[in-house]
Amino acid sequence: MAKTPQGKRKPWVKNLYSNREYPDNYTDVSFLKDLQTNLHVRRYTLREALGGITVLNNQISCITGFLILYHVMLCDRIAPTSILVPTCIITAIGYLYYRGSSLTMIMLGEDSKTLVTVLLFGYIFSPMLHTLTQAISTDTIYTTTFFVMLFNLMFTDYGLDVAMVSKAISLNAAIFGAICLASRLSTSYHAFVLLVEAAIFFVLYPIMTAARWHPYCMVPIFVICCGALYFLSRPVLYLYACTTLFINFACPLIFVRQQHYKFNIHGPWDEAIVEENTEENLDENL
């Protein structure tokens, strides 16, 4: 293509068929005038990053505490009733604290009926659940339990609006893991107590912590789990302690320090984003 003086050429425009006098690989200086970098990027502080992993901490603590109770019941170190009664008392106290001043007699009656129904059906079906996976080998049971507990962590709602978040899958995975472990216990009453503990750890505890939680609550939970694991298994204690400390301190610190490497560019070349019409923005879009 023959070059012509810059002054005789038409000004370059963002239209492919209007720039015939320019080479195909020509880039005008005005092309990048609308370039924007790191648009809508939020910088998080270390305090915000530490508070953002609350749900993950709670889920790991739930799984750890539940497995500790299972190991205690498996070894028959403590009678099942000695485990059931204190946890029920603590759960009742937590329920009163959760409801607070909004608790009424009607609400208490409805919740009590739900509790009695769940306990009654759980006690009736505990012999069947105790023998449901009894024919499966112990190694297979433990491997399956490991993966379903991993699914519980993966599909838990961490406050992100993504497709893989599913409270139903997360809860069902945890309950299925409890049913698998129940078959390794000695009696159906042991299985009933284990399933009650699973409901407390994976159903009631997340509801309580989501409504009334403070980061300092993690300290006594961590100490109790470490104290129990000290007498049960030292390698598991080291694994739990290192994992918890890494998640609570190392991961937020790495996240905060790596934020300055974010570099997003935005400009006219971005794909158009079609905004969904809702009741709030319908008048504006019309």
CA–CA dist 91, 68 (Å, integer)? 18
pLDDT band at residue 144, thresholds of 50, 70 and 90?
very high
pLDDT on residue 1? 45
Residue range 50-103, pLDDT digits in tens = 776 777 888 888 899 999 999 999 888 788 999 899 999 998 998 888 888 788
Tokens 């994976």 locate to 202
A 10 A CB-CB count for 66 gives 22
Helices 54-74 and 167-182, packing angle to 10 deg: 10
How high does pLDDT run on average in the chain? Answer: 83
Which neighbouring-strand residues pair with 37? 265
pLDDT band, very low/low/confident/very high, at 191 (cuts 50, 70, 90): very high
The pLDDT score that the predictor gives to residue 264 is: 78
pLDDT confidence of residue 238: 92
Query: Cα torsion at 166, 171, 172, 177 (round to 10°)?
Result: 130
pLDDT of amino acid 275: 66
48 has a pLDDT exceeding 80 = no
pLDDT exceeds 90 at position 140: yes
List of residues 6+ apart from 171 with CB closer than 8 A: 152, 202, 203
- Please state the rounded mean pLDDT for residues 116-131: 90
Comparison of pLDDT for 15 and 116, the residue scoring more: 116
Nearby residues of 132 by Cβ (< 8 Å), 6 or more positions away:
179, 183
The residue ranking higher by pLDDT, 75 or 33, is 75
**Residues of the chain above pLDDT 70, percent:** 89
Tens digits of per-residue pLDDT, 241-285? 998 889 888 888 898 888 888 877 777 666 666 666 666 665 665
Pairing verdict, β 36-37 and 265-266: antiparallel
Question: Rounded to an integer, what distance in angstroms lies between the CA atom of residue 226 and that of residue 62?
Answer: 13
What mean pLDDT do residues 156-170 have?
80
> How many residues does this entry show for the chain?
286
Domain boundaries, given as residue ranges, for the chain: 46-260
